[in-house]
């Protein structure tokens, strides 16, 4: 269970980017939608420990994450896939996964399972990551996070720069992970369709504040997500 309570944060002291963020995530995925500058990336970095929260609390399965850096949070089960993917372009696909396994002190044998989950990684294991398409690099970035055996993965703008076909493939891959594992996701996104297809709830973030909490099992809320986002 991820529990976020009255979280406030920003990039530097006394320059608040978001405030009073509260939500729970027990299973599946929750989305946070907002235009550029709404505070999504800052929130993602604060949840993962790359930035220090100004106030509020973050707990994973009862463990208080306040004051812990990103490495400590990885050990407690929370990983970040940053905006732009940031794969090691001059390393091969397999080398990217080996580096992630070494950093997380996990068994490199887990790579075989990830190659089954993402067959493109097996097909291109000896290719440089820089030679992959944007969609393929996004799957590699998610696989690097998965090799850390996280409880929760924070995805910051996973559809950014991807073609519609690549977004469909990303959605299918995330669906399989959600259905077949206990990994939970927090998706920071601008793509309303992706969030509608993957998430149980979607929080609408505007100028650092949650202005709507939408239930994706409610037909009216599913129809309102695009209007809510475009009308901010």
Domain ranges in the chain? 2-230
188/44 Cα distance (integer angstroms): 7
Task: Give pLDDT, residue 195.
Answer: 92
Q: pLDDT value at position 25?
A: 95
pLDDT-based confidence at residue 105 (cuts at 50, 70, 90): confident
What's the average model confidence in pLDDT over 68-97? 88
User: Token pair of 113, please?
Assistant: 């399972």
For 230, the token pair is 């475009």
Average confidence (pLDDT) over 67-85: 87
CATH class of 2-230: alpha beta
186 vs 149: CA distance, rounded Å: 16
Which residue in this structure is represented by tokens 């992959």? 132
What pLDDT, on a 0 to 100 scale, did the predictor assign at position 231? 45
Structural contact between residues 133 and 101, judged by C-beta atoms closer than 8 angstroms? no
- Please say whether the beta carbons of 121 and 115 come within 8 A: yes
Q: Residue 92: its pLDDT value, please?
A: 94
> For residue 229, is pLDDT > 60?
no
Predicted confidence band of residue 232 (pLDDT cuts 50, 70, 90): very low
Please give the model's pTM, rounded to 2 decimal places: 0.87
Token pair 């996973």 in the structure block, residue: 158
Cα–Cα dist 190/89, whole Å: 26
Q: How confident is the model at residue 39 (pLDDT cuts 50, 70, 90)?
A: very high
pLDDT of 103 higher than 80: no
Rounded-to-integer distance, Cα 155 and Cα 157, Å = 6
């Amino acid at each position: 269970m991820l529990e976020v309570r009255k979280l406030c944060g920003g990039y530097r002291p006394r320059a608040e980017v978001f405030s009073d963020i509260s939500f729970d995530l027990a299973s599946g995925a929750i989305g946070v939608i907002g235009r550029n500058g709404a505070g999504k990336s800052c929130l993602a970095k604060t949840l993962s420990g790359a930035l220090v929260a100004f106030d509020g609390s973050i707990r994973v399965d009862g463990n208080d994450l306040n004051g812990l850096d990103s490495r400590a949070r990885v050990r407690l089960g929370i990983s970040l896939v940053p905006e732009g993917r940031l794969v090691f372009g001059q390393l091969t696909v397999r080398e990217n996964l080996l580096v992630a396994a070494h950093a997380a002190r996990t068994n490199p044998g887990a790579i075989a399972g990830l190659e089954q989950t993402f067959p493109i990684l097996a097909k291109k294991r000896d290719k440089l990551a820089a030679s992959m398409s944007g969609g393929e690099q996004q799957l590699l970035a998610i696989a690097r996070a998965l090799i850390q055996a996280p409880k929760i993965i924070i995805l910051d703008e996973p559809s950014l720069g991807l073609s519609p076909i690549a977004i469909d493939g990303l959605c299918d891959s995330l669906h399989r992970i959600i259905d077949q594992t206990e990994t939970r996701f927090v998706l920071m996104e601008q793509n309303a369709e992706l969030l509608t297809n993957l998430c149980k709830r979607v929080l609408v973030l505007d100028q650092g504040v949650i202005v709507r909490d939408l239930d994706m099992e409610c037909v009216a809320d599913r129809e309102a997500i695009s209007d809510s986002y475009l009308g901010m």
